[in-house]
Amino acid sequence: MTEELQPNEHCQTVSVDDEPTAGVVGGEDMTAELCARAPIGMLAELTHRCPLQCGYCSNPIELERVNNELTTEEWVSVMRQAGEMGILQVHLSGGEPTARKDLEDIISAASEAGLYSNLITAAVTLKRDRLEDLVKRGLDHVQISFQDVDAENAERIGAYPGATQKKLDVARWVVDMGLPLTVNAPIHRQNIHNVGRYIDLAVELGAQRLEIAHVQYYGWAFLNRAALIPTYEQTVQSIDLVENARERLKGVLTIDMVVPDYYAKRPKPCMGGWGKGFMNITPAGKVLPCHAAESIPSLAFDNVRDRKLLDIWMNSDAFNAFRGTEWMKEPCRSCAFKEIDFGGCRCQAMAMTADPRNTDPACALSPYHGEMVALAKAEAAKPATEFVYRNPRNVTAAMKTAQEPLVPAE
């Protein structure tokens, strides 16, 4: 969900919608007015099963069990409802979405509902004939993650021997079949030296888009932060490299970049505003304003098994909790940027300050900001810790790891 650099005067990019949607009727007050804009994007986490075990995963520590996953019929209904309420793009993710044997039916349903479908896959178990079938059913775009450009390191990070060759094969099939390919590069201290080679790889594969996605510290990634966080200098270098490549590769490769906000001065406008343009469905059907929202213990989430998607979007407590600006405390409340960054990320405020209504500590105006930067720099200066690999066996141990909130500045 990134902004274009320079919108053309005849063609604007929208990441959050400003147009009210017919049939989605708001009311008198500010919050109701916001609801009248259906989200444009939906992330469907089809399953938490995954053949890879990457420690940078932003899935919650507590992974959903297979027998709690939505059925085929329930996912088909979700796709239909999404199309009806005006959602335009669906991102099929996980875990590994191809672990669902009924992915075919889900993609058919998305296509029939008029949704632009993105398959976000690790690609290690995807066969050519299956991909062909998915394309026939209307799949629009494939995104493949590469844990590193060096096979050995990539396979250590993902804990899956032989992954690289499989990913390269699938990437070439995607291009052969005329589909746009996104190379997803999850960047952290153990592969940040290869940002330039990721760019070369994307060009060589004929990718349409490259995502230089600096790891965001939620879920497993938060737990593994000391194994992942790069230094400030490495971060700045990688950003410069991408900015130069963007100019050089204009019209050839689109490069989107997610920067690590621990070193930022301004927080990211997370999700483009809570409950404003985006919704997330968990494998068990819970509907979240963002994929990390379950880390906020004060929120309760509605399920597509109990309520209609549109009803949840408009009326659920979780979506209304941080919609607009009314919920804000200082320094957000009187801030000139409050409609621009919405106080940053609620989950990061929760994780670092134990109060989701606080300003995201990534913001220089947060009293916790100095502590956060110091913590990042101190962790990055030490040798990387061992990964806690993301797998069901490690869940129990990881759940017990207590993270102390930061202490604010005096």
Partner 1 sequence: MTGATTSPGRLIVGRETRPKLPPYLKLRHDAGRGRWVLLAPERVLTPDQTAVAVLQLCDGTRTVEEISAKLAEEYSAPVDVITADVLDLLQGLADKGYVKA
Q: Which is nearer to partner 1, 16 or 151 (CB)?
A: 16
Q: Where are the alpha helices (DSSP H) in 20-162?
A: 30-35, 72-84, 103-112, 128-136, 151-158
Q: Which is nearer to partner 1, 277 or 285 (CB)?
A: 277
CA separation, residue 152 to residues 54, 157, 163 (Å): 14, 9, 9
Q: Which is nearer to partner 1, 250 or 329 (CB)?
A: 250
Could you tell me if 42 and 92 are in contact, meaning their C-beta atoms sit under 8 angstroms apart? no
From the CB of 70, what's the least distance to partner 1, in Å?
Answer: 24
From the CB of 138, what's the least distance to partner 1, in Å?
Answer: 11
Q: Which is nearer to partner 1, 70 or 126 (CB)?
A: 126
From the CB of 8, what's the least distance to partner 1, in Å?
Answer: 4
SS (H, E, C) 347-408: HHHHHHHCCCCCCCCCCCCCCCHHHHHHHHHHHHHCCCCCCCCCCHHHHHHHHHCCCCCCCC
Q: Burial code of 150-173, b = ≥16 C-beta within 10 A, e = fewer?
A: ebeebbebbbbeebbebbbebbeb
From the CB of 148, what's the least distance to partner 1, in Å?
Answer: 22
Residue type, 75: W
Q: Which is nearer to partner 1, 43 or 372 (CB)?
A: 43
Q: Which is nearer to partner 1, 11 or 402 (CB)?
A: 11
From the CB of 348, what's the least distance to partner 1, in Å?
Answer: 22
Give me the residues that bind partner 1 (CB under 8 A), please: 1-2, 4, 6, 8, 10-15, 17, 19-24, 38, 40-41, 85-86, 88-89, 114, 116, 118, 140-141, 143, 178-180, 182, 208-209, 211, 247-254, 256
Supply the DSSP symbol for 301.
-
From the CB of 174, what's the least distance to partner 1, in Å?
Answer: 10
Q: Which is nearer to partner 1, 35 or 38 (CB)?
A: 38
Could you tell me if 44 and 92 are in contact, meaning their C-beta atoms sit under 8 angstroms apart? yes
Q: Which is nearer to partner 1, 41 or 219 (CB)?
A: 41
Long-range pairs for 31-38: beta carbons < 8 A, 24 or more residues apart: 31/320, 31/323, 31/324, 31/326, 34/275, 34/276, 34/323, 34/324, 35/275, 35/313, 35/314, 35/315, 35/319, 35/323, 37/276, 37/277, 38/85, 38/86, 38/87, 38/310, 38/313
From the CB of 58, what's the least distance to partner 1, in Å?
Answer: 17
From the CB of 255, what's the least distance to partner 1, in Å?
Answer: 11
From the CB of 250, what's the least distance to partner 1, in Å?
Answer: 5
Q: Which is nearer to partner 1, 146 or 263 (CB)?
A: 146
